[in-house]
Amino acid sequence: MPRKIYIIGNWKMNTTLSEAMVLAGGILRRTEKFHHLNIVLAPPSIWLVPIKEQHKRAKLCAQNIYSTLKGAYTGEVSAIMLKGIAHYAIIGHSERRSTFGEDNMLVNAKVKTALRENITPIIAVGEEKKLDLEGLTDSGVTQRVLHSELIEQLKSSTMGLSGSDWENVIVAYEPVWAIGTGRNASGAYAARIIKELRDIIGQKLSGADIAKSVPILYGGSVSRHNAAEYAGQAEIDGVLVGGASLQVGEFSQIVEAFAGADKWRK
Ligand code: PGA
């Protein structure tokens, strides 16, 4: 079975209420015909409810959750608060790691909490500096990736997950150097790294069969100009889009790039 394709718009800390409603409505209307793609919106958490009320069938995602379900955690959002509103949560985004000091242990605790509460975690991992893969042999590439921080992030963020947990996980490969910089990773580079991540998941974390079904997305300066590059790579199961998800036309064109490419993938 081919893996599902996900196009996720991470709005980060942007939009007023009225902007959020216009953006969500515009994207959902323009992309509603693409039933075979999972189009998921991750607005600021305060806008999840009004968007859900207006668009019952919208697939929504929280940008973060906390690892504990309730209590004295000022400013945090709990997985139980998302019930019936958002089915997904981005966990371990590099901005959470760098600006808010989240480490792999906390990311791991959040991932487990999400899974227990039937929220699909979108686990973000990514290297700080671009890996130099030029001129390396196949096994040279494998070694370079194995020794990068990517593998440590992936392993410790998913420590203790069972096979059935893995069936409900999405991984987002988001190189830090590509996020918000306009310096996107090429389709070939992203696909190569994603292949290595899938191999590690298969060999060390979940088992080969399950690894084949885990969606692994690319994120980092995805735009309408480069979306087809990722859509054309069979290893890449979709994209996590930041800046370019804030405009109806731009985001819809990214969706369209995947809708077109999806035909030959099956
Ligand atoms: P960007 O952000 O598309 O603006 O680079 C991606 C992300 O942070 O998920």
Which residue among 6, 7, 8, 10 is best mutated to probe the pocket of ligand 1, counting the most ligand atoms within 8 A of its Cβ? Answer: 10
Separation of alpha carbons 104 and 106, rounded Å: 5
What are the pocket residues of ligand 1 if the criterion is a CB atom closer than 6 Å to any ligand atom?
10, 174, 179-180, 219-222, 240-244
Which residue out of 63, 221, 230, 250 has the highest number of ligand 1 atoms within 8 Å of its CB and is therefore the one to mutate? 221
**Averaged in consecutive runs of 10 residues, what is the pLDDT profile of the chain (266 residues)?**
93 98 98 95 98 97 98 97 98 96 97 98 97 93 94 95 95 97 97 96 90 96 98 97 98 96 64
Helix H, strand E, coil C: the string for the chain is: CCCCEEEEEECCCCCCHHHHHHHHHHHHHHHCCCCCEEEEEECCHHHHHHHHHHCCCCEEEECCCCCCCCCCCCCCCCHHHHCCCCCEEEECCHHHHHHCCCCHHHHHHHHHHHHHCCCEEEEEECCCCCCCCCCCCHHHHHHHHHCCHHHHHHHHHCCCCCHHHHCCCEEEECCHHHCCCCCCCCHHHHHHHHHHHHHHHHHHHCCHHHHHHCCEEEECCCCCCCHHHHHCCCCCCEEEECHHHHCHHHHHHHHHHHHHHHHHHC
Can you tell me which atom of ligand 1 is nearest the CA of 240?
9
49: CA distance to ligand 1 center in Å?
Answer: 23
pLDDT score for 2: 83
Alpha-carbon distance of 68 to 83, in angstroms, equals: 15
Distance 71 CA to ligand 1 centre (A): 31
pLDDT at residue 260, rounded to an integer: 87
At residue 205, the pLDDT reads 87
Non-local (6+) Cβ contacts of 91 within 8 A are: 64, 65, 107, 110, 111, 114, 121, 122, 123, 124, 157
pTM as predicted: 0.96
Candidates 176, 230, 241, 254: which one to mutate for ligand 1, based on the most atoms within 8 Å of Cβ? 241
Which of ligand 1's atoms lies nearest the C-alpha of 179? Answer: 5
Quick one: which atom of ligand 1 is closest to the CA of 244?
Answer: 3
In this predicted structure, what is the pLDDT of residue 137?
Answer: 94
If you search the block for the tokens 């793609």, which residue do you land on? 37
Cα separations in angstroms, 187 against 89, 133, 190, 233, 265: 25, 14, 5, 7, 16
- State the catalytic residues: 93, 174
At 261 the pLDDT is 86
Q: In the prediction, which pLDDT does 202 show?
A: 94
Q: How far is CA 148 from CA 17, 125, 134, 151, 259, in A?
A: 40, 11, 16, 6, 33
